[in-house]
Amino acid sequence: MLAKNLTDLRKEKKLTQLTVANAVGISRSTYADYEKGKSEPGASVLIKLATYFNVKADELVSGLVPLPLFRQPRQTPRLLDDVRVLPITVDSQQRENIQYVPHAAVAGYLSEHNQPEFIGRLPHFRLPKLTKGSYRAFDIQGDSMPPLHNGYVLIGRFVEHERDLKSGNRYVLVVKNQGIVFKKVIRTEKKSGRETGSPLILVSDNPEFLPYTVDLADVLEAWEMVSFIGYPDVYQDATHLLNDRLQVIEQKLNQLATPD
């Protein structure tokens, strides 16, 4: 499907293979192999090709639509989709960056999270000791997930497919018409006994916030929490609370041990 789409789109625009190859920074012979189906582009080249032809990358790979492909209605990629391409940026050594989504960029991220141009404008950085994968950083808002609250930055690993969501783990979810939420995810089972495609229950660690459900069809992206950076507006240290309680227990034990 990719080979046919590339050929049809190029011919529709009346372009030569050399023109397309130069536009995305590859040789003509390499691009010709894509059209012949002898090889397939890597993620970075695929994104460049999709951008050049003004189509979605998943449409380019698997779209079963008639020519011209770019005239067909576009659909926002979702977690349920089998083929999704994640826009990324790399440093001078071709190492993948961590794109940072500050609170001010949340509204834009909801509508343009799959647009390479938007992702390229986001701040980015790198962290050591992260395992293989793609990562994003998100500002934490509110106090529903202690000890993380306003001022913390969460680091999440990209979840390829909804079947990879693990019940009980914490995720940043990009949810259609809701925005970006950080919650513990509980998988539910359909009557058939399978979790795939069933609604998700989102649970806060703060018991003052009630759980609620979201439809998997509305989940556009999921990022599993792997780390966080703390820049809290108000310092809260759960260790102090624990120490206080231990001191109270110790005092009561001493009182019991002291003879009258």
Count other C-beta atoms under 10 Å from residue 203's C-beta.
Answer: 19
* Percent of the chain residues topping a pLDDT of 70: 81
Closest CA to 120 of 46, 24, 47: 47
Mind listing the pLDDT tens digit for each residue in 166-184? 999 999 999 988 899 999 9
Q: What's the pLDDT score for residue 68?
A: 40
Residues 183 and 173: beta-carbon distance below 8 Å = yes
CA distance 231 to 221: 25
Which domains does the chain carry?
Answer: 2-71 (1.10.260.40), 98-230 (2.10.109.10)
Q: What is the pTM of this model?
A: 0.62
Mind listing the pLDDT tens digit for each residue in 112-140? 888 888 999 999 999 998 998 999 999 99
Q: How many residues does the chain have?
A: 260
CA distance 82 to 192: 21
pLDDT of 36 strictly over 50: yes
Residues 61 and 51: beta-carbon distance below 8 Å = no
| DSSP string of 93-138, one letter each residue | TSPBPEEEE-GGGHHHHHHHTT-HHHHHHS-EE--TTPPSS-EEEE
